[in-house]
Structure 1
Amino acid sequence: MQLLLNLDVPDLGQAEAFYVAAFGLAPARRFGDGVLELLGAQAPVYLLRQAAGSEGAAGRVRSYDRHWTPLHVDVVVDDLDAALERALAAGATREGEVREAAWGRIVRIADPFGHGWCLLQFLGRGYGEIAS
């Protein structure tokens, strides 16, 4: 099975700049003027230009205000503090404090397009610290 991440964004240029600066992804292929493939993660990320106000899933209208979804992506990093600083400088919004647990450290952020992300730094054996 192959996993692809597709993110609706209102502006491809702004989204490309954010994801390159915040997460170190690299632009790869462009598909017309509406889709950009980014590489550098375990799964490719596709930015899909979709206008705010256009119809999204289940007949709902797309909004790029901060929104809740039951799905978010964790970005595993070696240095949480440096990764958070880089993401904030690129335009992310921090949502809460860094939390620490036996498995590691985590902080919630939002990209400029309303999507939620977590930056996650594993410590020790990572989730192995709490696995039974």
Structure 2
Amino acid sequence: MQLLVNIDVADLASAQAFYTAAFGLTAGRRFGDSGVELLGAQAPIYLLQKPQGSTGTAQSARDYARHWTPIHCDVVVDDLDAALTQALAAGAVQEGDVRTANWGRIVHLADPFGHGWCLLQFLGRGYDEITT
């Protein structure tokens, strides 16, 4: 299986600027004025320009205010403090304190388009520290 990550955004240029600055991704292919492929993660990330209020599903229109979704992406980093500083400088919003668990450290963020992200720094054996 190949995984592709698609992220709807209201403004493609500002989204590309955010994701390249926040996470160190680089632009790959462009799809006219409505999409760009970002490379540098284990899966390609596709930013797709979709206007605010356009139909996302039959039940709801797109809203780029901060929203909850049952799916989010985690970005695994070597240095959480440095990665957090970089993401905040790019325009991410920190949601809560950095927390430490026996598997590592985590902080919740929101991007400028309302999508939730987590930065993770594994410690010790990472998730193997809590495997049962």
Q: TM-score range by the shorter chain?
A: over 0.9
- Is 1:107 the counterpart of 2:112 in the alignment? no
Corresponding position of 2:98? 98
TM-score, length-normalised on structure 2?
0.99
> Which amino acid counterpart does residue 131 of structure 1 have in structure 2?
T
Give the equivalent residue in structure 2 for 1:70: 70
Unpaired runs of 5+ in structure 2? none
Distance 1:2 1:29 in 2: 18
Please name the residue that 1:40 is paired with. 40
Shift of 1:72: 0.6
Shift of 1:57: 1.9
Cα deviation digits, residues 68-110 of structure 1 (max 9, x gap) = 0000100000000000000000000000000100000000000
* Residue 81 in structure 1 maps to residue 81 in structure 2: yes
Identity of aligned residues (%): 70
The amino acid of 1:125's aligned partner reads R
Gaps of 5+ in 1: none
Give, in whole Å, the separation in 1 of the partners of 2:69 and 2:45. 18
Shift of 1:32: 1.2
Once residues 104 and 126 of structure 1 are traced to their aligned partners in structure 2, the CA distance between those partners, rounded to angstroms, is 6
Normalization by structure 1: what TM-score?
0.99
| Aligned mates of 2:11, 2:73 — CA distance in 1 | 20
Q: Alpha carbon RMSD of aligned pairs, Å?
A: 0.6
Measure, in 2, the Cα distance between the counterparts of 1:108 and 1:21: 18
Aligned length: 132
